[in-house]
Chain A
Amino acid sequence: MVFINGEEYQYVNANLSDVLKELNYKKETIAVEINEEIVPKATFDETILKDGDVVEVVSFVGGG
């Protein structure tokens, strides 16, 4: 089980890039932390989610 923005998902051993794509996130407009540590975008492809990981995806919208 992994937690993404507080929701439970069965993405253990899944690749972060694939998961973000499946959940319809746009790489250019997000910041992703796993267990409160930023995940550099350059490492999304090689990041594998582990059981118990707490993933926070902040998805920015326009306006300022």
Chain B
Amino acid sequence: MIPTKDEFYQALVERHGAENQKKFDEAVVAICGLGGLGSNIATCLARAGVGHLILIDYDLVDISNLHRQQYKITQVGMKKTEALVANLKEINPYIKVETHQVKMTEENVESLIDGAHIICEAFDSPESKAMLVNLVLEKMADKYILSSSGMAGFDSANNIKTRKVSRRFYLSGDEVSDVNAGIGLISSRVMVCGAHEAHMVLRILIGEMEA
């Protein structure tokens, strides 16, 4: 039996407190890229009861994604947006999810994420990361941007940190471990980094603005 919306909400209130849960429930968070970072961030936020997610990715689920991303073997070949919504709804059937199966570019970023208050950058390529962070900071003055850089390889998970770069810009990662340097992405370390971003989202929502 699936709990009612009220039962589900009350279970979260018991964990997080009524005041915090109301803030999570009313939040709109955009997740840009649904790979190792984004699929894990979305899962954390859905579990926490964040009310509304905007999920954006152009890609399909590939067998090479399964070691670190929140998809299943039966979902290989599906659109990541559709596969992730299905998985999130199994965790939290009451979450509102808006999806865009599209590649983000300088031209479409603003219209895609305009409805969100907090933006999670969860791309793979450094050029895309820089594009989104620059664009939000330059043109979207009311939004927070949370970004990640450096989470590849088997180095210590303790080197993954979050720092507040400036008032609206937070950066998670070790800032050096580059997947393009030939070191692979390991699920546990990528998840640590994604969890850092997700946790910072929740902290901002309850007014804890330090990293």
A: residues with CB less than 8 A from B are 28-31, 33, 36-38, 40-41, 56, 58-64
B: residues with CB less than 8 A from A are 33, 35-38, 122-127, 129-130, 133-134, 137-138, 147-152, 165-167, 169, 171, 175-181, 185, 190
Taking a contact as CB atoms closer than 8 A, the residue among A30, A36, A38, A58 that contacts B171 in the complex is A58
Q: Assess whether A64 is in contact with B130, with CB atoms less than 8 Å apart.
A: no
Taking a contact as CB atoms closer than 8 A, the residue among A29, A31, A62 that contacts B124 in the complex is A62
Chain B residues whose CB sits within 8 angstroms of the CB of A56 once the complex forms: 165-166
Q: Assess whether A38 is in contact with B138, with CB atoms less than 8 Å apart.
A: yes
Nearest Cβ on chain A to B81's Cβ, whole angstroms: 16
A48–B149 Cα distance when bound, in Å, is 28
- Which of A40, A41, A63 has most B Cβ within 10 Å? A63
A64–B148 Cα distance when bound, in Å, is 8
Q: Assess whether B185 is in contact with A63, with CB atoms less than 8 Å apart.
A: yes
Q: Assess whether B134 is in contact with A29, with CB atoms less than 8 Å apart.
A: no
Q: Assess whether A62 is in contact with B126, with CB atoms less than 8 Å apart.
A: yes
